[in-house]
Amino acid sequence: MPARCILMKPILGQFKQILFTTMFVLYAVSSMSQQAKQKALLVKHVVEKKESSHHLADFYHLTTDANVVFTFPEGFKETRVLNNEDFSFDYAIEIPGGEFEVWFQVKSQKANWANYERFKNDPTKMIACPDSLYIQMGHAEAKALMGDQPYFSRNISWDVLQRFNADAGKSYLLNLADMRETKHYKYALLLTLQKNHIGTVLAVCFTNEKSPEFFKNVNRMSLYIKFKS
């Protein structure tokens, strides 16, 4: 056998060993990378589940009952919601560092409407029409936020109501009392929206500056909460 062939055998053996080792290392790195990705996805899933708190689950239940669609908006996070004798809200979100916060109150009026239809002609009953409760709700909330100070309110225009698939609504521009409960925000825009015979949405948008950006954020609200069409 030629000396050249004798020398090639150990070289080929070393080459095969190096190739095998390289393939094994690449496989191991790929496997570890895949496991890391799976772990990251698992962590992300756990975080998302954590962010989807029981408050949000309860809020989804309320919105479904009132024929309201709520899609958690991008760029927001859940924040503390007040539910006491002075302020009764179901859910709250904010833009981190953006000085813009929204508190929601959602009520189904289906049972109230059925009760109204049953007893509206009974002179012994004094039942208010559920389709006008949004006005009372707005006044009561404005008074809770402002005390005895005067406030400005107006009917929401039809083109805006259509964006929310609502039949009626009012807006209240408020100069807030300096309160710990409202995080010392200076201003708020309170909106009440009514879907006849179905439900009511009340939303309070808080800010410290009545800037164009604040009103842009308010206008975007119909992108993430509205009545079913």
63 shares a domain with 23: no
- Chain-wide mean pLDDT for the chain? 83
| Higher-scoring residue by pLDDT: 226, 16 | 226
Give the residue from 34, 50, 66 where a domain finishes: 50
DSSP 8-state symbol, 157: P
Strands of the sheet containing 100-108, edge to edge, are 77-78, 91-95, 100-108, 199-207, 187-195, 168-175, 152-155
User: What is the per-residue pLDDT across 56-77, written as a single tens digit (0 to 9) for each?
Assistant: 999 999 999 999 999 999 999 9
Give the closest residue to 76 by CA, choosing from 184, 205, 172, 197: 205
102 shares a domain with 15: no
pLDDT band at 210 (very low <50, low <70, confident <90, very high): very high
Look at the pTM and tell me if it is higher than 0.95. no
Please tell me the predicted confidence (pLDDT) of residue 22: 42
107: domain CATH number is 3.40.1000
Please tell me the predicted confidence (pLDDT) of residue 52: 56
43 shares a domain with 60: no
Amino acid at residue number 1: M
93 shares a domain with 19: no
Domain count within the chain: 2
List, in sequence order, the alpha helices (H) in 66-209.
Answer: 110-119, 133-146, 158-163
4 shares a domain with 85: no
177 shares a domain with 85: yes
Give the closest residue to 195 by CA, choosing from 170, 166, 156: 166
84 shares a domain with 6: no
Please tell me the predicted confidence (pLDDT) of residue 147: 82
Strands 225-227 and 68-70, sheet pairing? antiparallel
Domain, as residue range, for 11: 1-50
Give the closest residue to 141 by CA, choosing from 107, 167, 115: 107
Range with lowest mean pLDDT among 3-17, 103-117, 164-178: 3-17
Distances (CA, A) of 85 to 104, 134, 165, 177: 16, 19, 31, 17
Is-contact 128 109, C-beta < 8 A?
A: no
DSSP 8-state symbol, 88: B
Distances (CA, A) of 58 to 28, 93, 111, 207, 223: 45, 14, 19, 26, 21
Is-contact 161 220, C-beta < 8 A?
A: no
90 shares a domain with 56: yes
194 shares a domain with 96: yes
45 shares a domain with 108: no
92 shares a domain with 30: no
45 shares a domain with 59: no
CA distance 163 to 218: 12
